[in-house]
Amino acid sequence: MAGRLIRIEDPADVRIAEFTSMRDRDLAGRGDRFIAEGRVVLQALMDAEAGQGRFVLEKALILENRVEGVGDLLARMGGACPVYVAGREVLDAAVGFAMHRGILAVGRHVPAPSLPDFLGHMPERALLVVACSIANHDNIGGIFRNAGVFGADGVVLDASCCDPLYRKAIRVSVGAALRVPFCRGGGIAELVGTLASAGFDIAGLSPQGAQALSAFQPGGRLALLMGTEGEGLPDDILKAVKTLRIEQAPGMDSLNVATASGIALWHVAGRMGRTGGV
């Protein structure tokens, strides 16, 4: 293992340029590259690369005293992936802050060519989460984490959603953003039309939903629509699809969207046989 490690002595070394000044910028949204932080996320990236072909691990930067602890992961890395090692002072100076967990990597997402192609790879009894205008990285990370925990087959994002490969979103998702397949499409109305054409029943979550979630029995293929905080799903979408509400005590406006996604996914996943739930 020691023979493949490349020592970095200068924080301005161009070979680690993607990792520099991470406090002020992020690779997400620049092509399809992103930063992965920590052992759990690096392992998720490597698993996704090996098992799904949706991601490529391009390079890694490891704090010298963390090398031994990730020896099993380094042994799995292909020879084409350079592994850089640096001391604490050099790594902190390069990254721009000390809270980087000492394990960093650059990954590249290989997206589906189109939403129809993405949906074409879904199983007959598929469960999808569809996110509309989710602009908060904590929420998008929470939605992906819930999708992974409850066995959703994928996440579909409209064009106005934030990037699930932003490093904070990946971290909040505990690596689920790399494990759960996803596809970004156009406007929400366009996505709904494509999903309907692919045979999906579509249900939108709303505090004013016509049917209680507890009474909902999903069919063969289901797409659960989640809207942004405050505004929720657009009115024209709510008029066009089945709407579900999560019963709650009076006096409160609504649940956080990530929390609501967890409750809804637990319910439908149980009824679709994904978990030992309802």
Could you tell me the residue ranges of all domains in the chain? Answer: 2-109, 115-271
Strand partners, 243: 204
CA distances from 24 to 86, 89, 90, 169 (A): 21, 19, 18, 16
Q: Taking a C-beta distance cutoff of 8 angstroms, is the pair 69, 61 a contact?
A: no
Each residue's pLDDT tens digit, 117-135: 999 999 999 999 999 999 9
Helix axes 137-149, 257-271, angle to 10 degrees: 10
| pLDDT at residue 99 greater than cutoff 80 | no
CA distances from 29 to 69, 87, 140, 221, 270 (A): 31, 29, 15, 31, 35
Quote the CA–CA distance of 86 and 142 in Å, as a whole number. Answer: 32
Quote the CA–CA distance of 85 and 79 in Å, as a whole number. Answer: 16
> By mean pLDDT, which of 47-61, 89-103, 166-180 is the weakest?
89-103
Whole-number mean pLDDT of the chain? 89
The superfamily (CATH) of domain 115-271 is: SPOUT methyltransferase, trefoil knot domain (3.40.1280.10)
The top-scoring range by mean pLDDT among 78-82, 117-121, 229-233, 271-275 is 117-121
pLDDT given at position 239: 93
Q: Which CATH number fits domain 2-109: 3.40.1260.10, 3.40.50.2300, 3.40.50.720, 3.30.1330.30?
A: 3.30.1330.30
pTM here is 0.90
pLDDT given at position 53: 79
Q: Are strands 103-109 and 55-63 parallel, antiparallel or unpaired?
A: antiparallel
Here the tokens at position 255 are 């649940």
278: confidence class by pLDDT, cuts 50, 70, 90: very low
Quote the CA–CA distance of 148 and 159 in Å, as a whole number. Answer: 22
Q: Taking a C-beta distance cutoff of 8 angstroms, is the pair 105, 45 a contact?
A: yes
Quote the CA–CA distance of 108 and 79 in Å, as a whole number. Answer: 17
Residue predicted with more confidence, 191 or 50: 191
pLDDT given at position 240: 93
Find the DSSP H helices in the chain. Answer: 39-51, 71-76, 88-95, 115-120, 137-149, 167-172, 176-179, 188-197, 235-240, 257-271
Q: Which of 50, 64, 61 is nearest to 17 (CA)?
A: 61
Q: Taking a C-beta distance cutoff of 8 angstroms, is the pair 265, 150 a contact?
A: yes
Amino acid at 156: V
| pLDDT at residue 38 greater than cutoff 60 | yes
Q: Taking a C-beta distance cutoff of 8 angstroms, is the pair 15, 84 a contact?
A: yes
For 223, half-sphere exposure in the C-beta direction (CA atoms, 13 angstrom radius) is 25
Q: Taking a C-beta distance cutoff of 8 angstroms, is the pair 149, 178 a contact?
A: no
pLDDT given at position 155: 98
Quote the CA–CA distance of 102 and 87 in Å, as a whole number. Answer: 10
DSSP class of 227: P
